[in-house]
Amino acid sequence: MADINLLPQDDATNGWNNILPTRIPNLPLTDAVSADWVIVGAGFAGLAAARRLAENRPEDHIILLEAQELSGAASGRNAGFAIDLPHGRQLQDELSVMPRHTRLARSAMDYLQHQVDTHGIECQWSPRGQYHGAVSAHAFKTDIEPFASILDQLGEPYRLLDRQQLAAEIGTSYYHGALYAPGAILMNPAALVRGLGDSLPENVTVYENSPVIQADYGGTITLTTNTGSVQARQLILGTGIYTEDFGFYKRSLIPIALSASLSRSLTIDEQKALGGQEDWGLTPVGMPGVTMRYTQDHRILIRQKVEYGPGCRRSDAYRKRLRVVHQDRFNARFPMLPEVTMEHTWTGFVCAAQNQGHGFGKVADNIHSAVCQNGIGVTKGTISGLLAADLACGRDNPLIADLQSLGTPNQLPPQPLLGLGVRANLAWRHWMGRAEK
Ligand SMILES: Cc1cc2nc3c(=O)[nH]c(=O)nc-3n(C[C@H](O)[C@H](O)[C@H](O)COP(=O)(O)OP(=O)(O)OC[C@H]3O[C@@H](n4cnc5c(N)ncnc54)[C@H](O)[C@@H]3O)c2cc1C
């Protein structure tokens, strides 16, 4: 029996969500019910697992339990990049490993593309690609040029842009230069998560605002919420950073807090002053750097701040301070938009492993997991949920071996060493990349 004490409680300030029309959530669980399968967590992982199970087993009844509303947690509050190329620390992997990341990510993107097309999900889905921007000449040399060399070896297309060329495409001349790669897809992640959750097949029943507070893994699995319970033969966990209380990956998952702000829509005059393309997305080379989006509804996203996030809570005062920093970063990059202010500021909690492993696979009899996407969950969450469903159903899929080969999260040192270590590591990376602010 596992008591689940750390429950998701995300703030209500997610801009992607708040600019969408009001949605009526599915009812919470209020009875004792049974099903063939139960999935916990309706992020990218849980949603993909539910859909794939329904495809694999059309006769089975599947229940999806979500603690909050759809799009409440990290999957609905990220920067909205579906990234196909090796990213961040994956670039330190052996060259032979990198095509696996790409294969997994592109399969996820195809799967998502199919849902967006089939169900007409309106989420500003945009196959626009991605800029990797360096503020300093130094970072261009130490990060962008080696990245280009890796892409050469992988046979992946890209373009290098100098300051003027980049400014012509995205409006700001703040960056020394960038690498543009065409494969990434941009979207409003909250709209995508809502659309995926609201278009699940009929044999899936979704209960929102239904946090699981107790799990019993006897012969039959029993999950209890405050107002009901589910009994099922099989369980898939898509619970992200909240997984340890379910009894799995103990002391292996690192909670990371990431924050973002979204501006108001630019006026027509402001759009002209900015110039550049209809929409775009840029990711930074260093940790203190800023991820930016210009959206199809003419808003600018600033994603900045990476922190250790145990407890998965942040205060209004924290977000207020953060907005000032985000506005400052915005002003430095967009002096041609002096009147534009940040309207929404939020934080989300993601799950990372020290060794970048994935919490994917069979974790006990009749229990599978698809957790720990190491900060790139649009693609990795989707593919691990899909593959967890295939693995649990015994469906052969060569991508399972690809994902398994990336390893599982390693054991971490106990507290307080862990907290000290993670904070020191992040502080060091912020210091090393300070020129990219
Ligand atoms: C600001 C920010 C920017 C980011 N940018 C990007 C990006 O551009 N591209 C990208 O790929 N990734 C990005 N990420 C990371 C990405 O959002 C995550 O990797 C992804 O959401 C993980 O998906 P998931 O389904 O594994 O977990 P989650 O999205 O965390 O979903 C887990 C779900 O489980 C539910 N849950 C947990 N415990 C319980 C319980 N006891 N009972 C019921 N339900 C429960 C939670 O409420 C949640 O809905 C970003 C994250 C943030 C915060």
> pLDDT by residue (tens digit) across 9-38?
999 999 999 999 999 999 999 999 999 999
How confident is the model at residue 91, as a pLDDT? 83
Using a 6 Å cutoff on CB, does residue 238 contact ligand 1? yes
Q: In 47-81, which positions are buried (b, 16+ CB within 10 angstroms) versus exposed (e)?
A: bbbbbbbbeebeebbbbbbbbbbbbbbbbbbbbbb
Residue 183 in contact with residue 345, Cβ under 8 Å?
Answer: no
Helices (H), 182-257: 189-198
Residue nearest to atom 34 of ligand 1 (CA): 41
- Nearest CA residue ID for atom 53, ligand 1: 348
Phi, psi at 351, each rounded to 5°:
-115, 130
Number of C-beta neighbours around residue 362 at 10 A: 12
**Which among 291, 226, 216 has a CA at the least distance from the CA of 260?**
291
The predicted structure's pLDDT at residue 139: 95
Residue 213 burial (10 A CB sphere; 0-12, 13-18, 19+) = middle
- Which fold does the domain 2-77+190-253+354-421 belong to in CATH? FAD/NAD(P)-binding domain (3.50.50)
Place of tokens 């229940």: 63
Ramachandran angles phi, psi of 404, nearest 5°: -60, -35
Q: Grade residue 392 by pLDDT with cuts at 50, 70 and 90.
A: very high
Nearest-CA residue for atom 4 of ligand 1: 78
- Torsions phi, psi for 158 (to 5 deg): -165, 170
Residue type, 312: C
Domain locations along the chain: 2-77+190-253+354-421
What is the reported pLDDT for 22?
A: 96
Name residue, tokens 């199919």.
Answer: 114
Q: Report the atom number in ligand 1 closest to the C-alpha of 4.
A: 41
Counting ligand 1 atoms within 8 A of each CB, the residue from 9, 26, 78, 302 with the most, and so the one to mutate, is: 78
Q: Quote the percentage of the chain above a pLDDT of 90.
A: 92
- SS3 string of 26-85? CCCCCCEEEEEEEEECCCHHHHHHHHHHHHHCCCCCEEEECCCCCCCCHHHCCCCEECCC
Q: Beta strand 185-186 with 81-82: parallel, antiparallel or unpaired?
A: antiparallel
Q: What is the position in ligand 1's atom list of the atom closest to the CA of 210?
A: 43
- What value, to the nearest 5°, has the Cα angle with vertex 428 and ends 424 and 430? 120
- The 10s digit of each residue's pLDDT in 189-226 is 999 999 999 999 999 999 999 999 999 998 899 999 99
Q: Which protein residue's CA is at the shortest distance from atom 11 of ligand 1?
A: 376
Distance CA(34)–CA(299), nearest Å, equals 44
Give nearest CA residue, ligand 1 atom 12: 376
Contacts of 407 by beta carbon, 8 Å cutoff, 6+ apart: 355, 356, 357, 358
345, β-bridge pairs: 261
Regarding the beta carbon of 288 and ligand 1, being less than 6 Å apart is answered: no
